Amino acid sequence: MQKKTWAKLIITIVLIAAVAAGIYRQWFWKAGDAGRTWGAGSLTTSERAYYTNRINAIIETWQRSRRNTGRAEKGRSEDSYGTYMVIDLDKKTMWIEDDGQIQPDNYTEFPAKMKWVLLHKTPQSDSEVPGQTRLRIRGDNSGQDYREQFYLVGAGRGTGHLYFEFSTTSRGSGSGSGKFLPQSRQSSAGEPNDSYGSLIVSDSEYEQYRRSSPSRDPNAPAEPVDSSPFAQNKAAWRKIEIPLYQQIEKEVSSAGFSLRELTVEPGPDFSAAHAGVGIRTQGLVREIFGGYYWGDIYLKIDYLGDDIWYAKIAPHPQRGTMPRRDKIDLEFLIRPTAPIPDSQRAALLEKGRKIQPDAAVIAPSKWKVALPNGATVEFIGICENPSVGKQWWGPDGSPLDYAPYLNSESYGSPGNDRKIYEMAWRIEFPQMPNGSSGGGTLIGPDGCVGSYSQPVRDRYGNQIYNLNAQGYAFEQARTKTTLRLGVSVGSGQYQNVTFENISLVPGQDQGFKILLPDQQP
């Protein structure tokens, strides 16, 4: 046989093998990975994403418990509060325990059929901590924290390893191939004499805490069940969370793609959520003949009631719609408790489309003023903290017919001597001759005894960037405050606007008025 004929034959065989492999691979991804049960075979992308999110959330909640510590002498934190993070390697679970009770919202299992270890590193030693470990935040002065780092590492199921790195003030996570090797600590210095000590709680220390804690009276009435819309939404979200991760991967696969990465975040009141979905082309056939592609899509997810959720692709609120060579349109309903009747599907889809606005819209405020430097300032509203599910009102006490943002986070430690409010305002800077815009702000409310800040989010959990908000604490008996805002444009001087006599009592006008720069006392 001639050499050219042999070459043609070899090329033909290679092409046939490639096409066959692509067909098998495409069938395998569609029929296997997206449809198989979590906990079997290789770790799926959605399974890894869900457990990574849950473990990180528990670590973050534990770190935030630092704010609940009392103060002992010399400003040091008391060591008597009862919040622990528990990692149980035997049962492959972790949770937050508060006053001896497991918090259901802060409990998770680890991905099944993986080997898990907890590594403990200090400047003096490295060790592996077996069994069940309790960790307690010892204080809130990071300069006096015992210098130690923890690594929760899982291996197996075709992933190489997953790892979660954390201390009292930092955390991170990731994955890799091969054996996990934690970074070595450079410092060999000893601990300061006044350090808080290790985060690890010994068995004897825990038993002593339990004996000194007041036990609950078995005859005491049970705690009332929270039946608020917020609590109902949260319960519905817990039911849908795992099925939602699984369904997203299934929908992506059914559209002819494979899932590359996935992040899902609920909104502050759990009535909606958003998902960032990384996709890539699926199967060797498409890669050869259709071109390889990878990209990101964004899903808006809404609760329709009766355990039914609606999800649809939408433009990203900050990045818009990313161009794609391959068309992918995802829109689906999901209910974890029972199938959705076909007779209801069309109406439910239409309901979902109607309640998904294109973007978060903040209504124009009637308390808006223009400064001589060209900036405009709007006072949006005020509400008790946490504001989710509560009525907002204007500075004159009049009710708002919408919530400018949602926040379920309680600011500060509870106390009977003060009350915390959230205030929202907006500043628009004029455009400079060079095309830029911006400036600085100074703010200070009268009578404030504490302030708090965090990013504000819309109902889908996306950060709102064109809105300013702050939490302020006042004495319980206080009924009004005055807010002074200094605004500079570019590097110019500050000009002040004063919102005088803002009502801290809804429905009551405390003599509110706005003072411009030429009216300042």
Q: What is the pLDDT of residue 69?
A: 63
Q: What is the pLDDT of residue 344?
A: 96
Q: What is the pLDDT of residue 518?
A: 65
Torsion of CA 88, 92, 97, 101, to 10 degrees: -110
d(CA 59, CA 50): 15
* 187: CB partners within 8 A, 6+ apart: 123, 147
Q: What is the pLDDT of residue 72?
A: 54
Six-digit token pair at 35?
Answer: 């449809």
DSSP secondary structure string for all residues of 139-164 = -S-GGGS---EEEEEEE-TTS-EEEE
What are residue 245's phi and psi, to 5 degrees? -55, -45
**Mean pLDDT per segment of 10 residues, for the chain of length 521 residues?**
60 56 43 61 93 96 77 54 89 91 92 94 88 85 73 90 90 86 58 70 86 66 74 93 96 90 94 93 53 76 96 83 65 94 96 79 84 92 94 96 91 79 93 73 88 90 91 93 91 89 95 82 61
What are residue 260's phi and psi, to 5 degrees? -95, -45
What are residue 211's phi and psi, to 5 degrees? -70, -30
Helix (H) or strand (E) holding 450, with range, is strand 450-452
Q: What is the pLDDT of residue 26?
A: 43
Torsion of CA 393, 395, 397, 399, to 10 degrees: -30
Neighbour count for residue 104 (Cβ, 10 Å): 10
Burial of 3 from C-beta contacts in 10 A (0-12 / 13-18 / 19+): exposed
pTM: 0.82
Where in the chain are the domains?
Answer: 45-70+79-181+196-212, 229-355, 368-519
Q: What is the pLDDT of residue 28?
A: 41
74 CA to centre of own chain: 35
Q: How many CA atoms lie within 13 A of 392 on its CB side?
A: 20
3-state secondary structure of 501: strand
Neighbour count for residue 53 (Cβ, 10 Å): 18
Segments of 44-202 assigned E as strands: 83-88, 93-98, 101-109, 115-121, 126-128, 132-135, 149-155, 161-166, 171-176, 200-201
User: Which CATH number applies to 45-70+79-181+196-212?
Assistant: 3.55.40
Burial of 173 from C-beta contacts in 10 A (0-12 / 13-18 / 19+): middle
Q: What is the pLDDT of residue 392?
A: 96
* Cβ proximity of 102 and 96 under 8 Å: yes
Q: What is the pLDDT of residue 289?
A: 46
